[in-house]
Homo-oligomer: A and B are copies of this chain.
Amino acid sequence: MSVESIHGIIGYTITPFDAEGRLDLPALGKSIERLIEGGVHAIAPLGSTGEGAYLSEEEWNTVAEFSLNQVDRRVPTIVSVSDLTSAGTQRRARFAEEHGADAVMMLPISYWKLSEEEIFEHYRVVGDSLSIPIMLYNNPGTSGIDMSVDLIMRIVSSVDNVTMVKESTGDIQRMHQLNLRSEGELPFYNGCNPLALEAFVAGAKGWCTAAPNLIPDLNCQLYSAVITGELDKAKGLFYRQLPLLDFILRGGLPSTIKAGLRLKGLEVGAPRPPLSELNEESCHRLERMLSDLL
């Protein structure tokens, strides 16, 4: 499966826990089946939504291997492999490659802010140890590091297998610059839900989102409408789903998506503390939103 096929709606998985806080793999399997049945064009385990940062190494391995087996190459799988250390990131990336990932996603998470040189080296070291493509991921909101377009272009042009960029700042000018500087050759993906319509219009090849856990049809229809050039239809679809997209972003994706899956009949447990479950009032609001969208 070639990297060219990574496009459209890229669905992020949650990581289900049971009442004791242990991995619930059967629920994970069901949530992946729902995404595929919902029509997503790719699956991304262990990302922000998947609480990858909150798992032990052993848990991380288990979820990565189980997810890859469950997807079983029906669609491309992009595994998020970010870790605070370069060695840890490299280990996860190799594990993902060995177990069949089509690509890995890599965010330079930080405790100490990294210099541009440190970020560059981080990508180089991991890139040199892999054969599959890397999707560079910029998300200062979670990582504490904002990579400039200059730095991203430098990494893309120097590290062979960094071939895709996921941009989650929510600032569409970043996508414009990636497009202009690469003369349209660098595939970029949108990771900011409320920017879905405009990012596609600006040329994003895909939308990385946890929303298909809840409203896969609306997500896929939006993508189709842009592809077929039906601008009014796309605009209508976007504004229809926007309140939900805003809600899941503001409420925290693990909390809101897990609450939404429960409302839709799949019990996936609570996020891992200090992340908390959605409170009752917000659950009611989410329930109303979801029923309005049916």
Nearest-neighbour CB distance to chain B for A62, whole angstroms, equals 17
Bound state CA distance, A252 and B122, in angstroms? 17
Residue in chain B with minimal CB distance to A274: B122
Given A54-B111, A119-B274, A229-B232, A172 and B195 touching (CB < 8 A)? yes
Q: Give how many copies assemble into the complex.
A: 4
In A237-277, which residues have CB < 8 Å from any B CB?
239, 242-243, 252-254, 272-276
Bound state CA distance, A171 and B197, in angstroms? 14
Question: Which residues of B have CB within 8 Å of A118?
Answer: 273-276
Q: Is there contact, CB below 8 Å, between B198 and A172?
A: yes
Nearest-neighbour CB distance to chain B for A98, whole angstroms, equals 21
- Scoring A21, A171, A176 by chain B CB atoms within 10 A of each residue's CB, the highest score goes to A176
Q: Is there contact, CB below 8 Å, between A201 and B203?
A: no
Q: Is there contact, CB below 8 Å, between B252 and A112?
A: yes
Q: Is there contact, CB below 8 Å, between B273 and A112?
A: no
Q: Is there contact, CB below 8 Å, between A273 and B173?
A: no
Q: Is there contact, CB below 8 Å, between A273 and B85?
A: yes
Bound state CA distance, A274 and B231, in angstroms? 43
Verify if A101 is at the interface (C-beta below 8 Å from B).
no
> Which of B109, B231, B253 is close to A201, meaning CB atoms less than 8 Å apart?
B231
Q: Could you jot down 25 A-B contacts, CB within 8 Å?
A: A21-B87, A48-B111, A85-B273, A85-B274, A86-B273, A86-B274, A87-B273, A112-B142, A112-B252, A113-B141, A113-B142, A115-B252, A115-B276, A117-B276, A119-B274, A121-B276, A172-B198, A176-B194, A176-B242, A180-B239, A197-B201, A197-B202, A201-B201, A201-B235, A229-B231
Q: Which 6 A-B pairs have the closest CB atoms?
A: A198-B198, A53-B111, A122-B274, A86-B273, A118-B274, A229-B231
Known: A198-B198, A229-B229. 20 other contacts (CB 8 A): A85-B272, A86-B274, A108-B274, A109-B111, A112-B252, A112-B253, A114-B275, A115-B252, A117-B276, A118-B274, A118-B276, A121-B276, A122-B274, A144-B144, A176-B239, A176-B242, A198-B201, A203-B235, A226-B231, A229-B231
